[in-house]
Amino acid sequence: MPALAADLRSRLAGYRMPPEWAPHQATYLVWPHNRDTWPGKFESIPPVYARMVAAIAQFEPVRLLVNDDAAAASARLMVAEALARAGMARVLARVEFVTIATNDSWIRDFGPIIVNRWAGGERAPAQLALDFRFNSWGGKYGPADLDDAVPERLAQHYGFDLIAVGMVLEGGSIDVNGAGALLTTESCLLNPNRNAGLSRTEIETTLKFCFGAETVHWLGEGIVGDDTDGHIDDIARFADERTIVTVTENDPADPNYALLRDNHERLAALRDREGRPYRIETLEMPPALFYEGTRLPASYANFYVVNGGVVMPTFGCETDAKAAAVLARLFPGRRVVGVESLDLVWGLGAVHCLTQQHPASVAGR
């Protein structure tokens, strides 16, 4: 498979993925329904998830995918209760329930990735939705056919323009600063369980054309317990065009210590488009979390930036407050809201993994 067909290159010229802190039209979410994702803990998940929906809806519209009418009724009731307890009952009007069947809830990884037109002909759409292939994180789990069809189903529902990209890619594997730089990891995107027929150069070329990037910055491995082979959204995130916030482990005996130190050294060596080092900020990892003997990928890097706020996972420990203070400093003018994630992370993901933004289009373009 070529890195990107010539006709796709032509259609994508002049488009760029906005950074997460750019204004959003809405957030996509999927109501949890796959009991295998949280074995032994599923009953606790919908109430926690409803509180996460409520946290996001106070800042921006939510488009919540449900499998059927019964799921929509249950979800509406639980979200309404969560909003009422938070004194925000009227915010329920911002939550739209969209009947589209899915296999699972991790829409960050199978939902559409929206790019905006920054240059080019005025007849071109203001936005394009990119539809990458989704193969259940390298074929690790059960059927993913419904998840893989979500971008097309959403495009049909909302009438936006969709481009199918032949490469396998999950949204959690990339992060952009909106100014030509893209962060990712070797352990995920170079893993043969995604795109065995593509070279590193071909993957880079595809990333640059699809997301309007000039430079791809590669980190190494992901954190222990991450079944995605090392998604960037558990390791390091852009906080602005020149700032990268990354997680660090202070205990040399922890298996995350060496790999996060290696990633920190790689980050320190990076340069922006002007040849300047990035400003590197850090988030302390929470204490190691286990459930039934399994190390969980708990990370404060799995935060989600919304209009006027930052929604972050919390794990019931003293590092929660430290992480919230760092994020409040890095995102001035935005309110930091925590979502209890001790149960969510048993599904091997948290807030960012469960969300996907639909950015607002660029005004006047």
25 near 359, Cβ under 8 Å? yes
Give CA–CA dist 148/150, Å, rounded.
Answer: 6
Least Cα distance to 160 among 149, 152, 171 occurs for: 152
User: Could you report how far apart the first and last alpha carbons of the chain are, in Å?
Assistant: 33
At 7, is the secondary structure helix, strand, or coil? helix
- Structure-token pair, residue 44: 């606790």
- Structure-token pair, residue 114: 């929206």
- Structure-token pair, residue 331: 């995102």
Catalytic residue check, 188: no
Name residue 25's amino acid: Q
β-strand partners of 336: 310
205 near 171, Cβ under 8 Å? no
Catalytic residue among 188, 210, 317, 353: 353
Give CA–CA dist 270/180, Å, rounded.
Answer: 13
DSSP state letter for 286: P
Give CA–CA dist 66/248, Å, rounded.
Answer: 36
What residues are labeled active site? 353
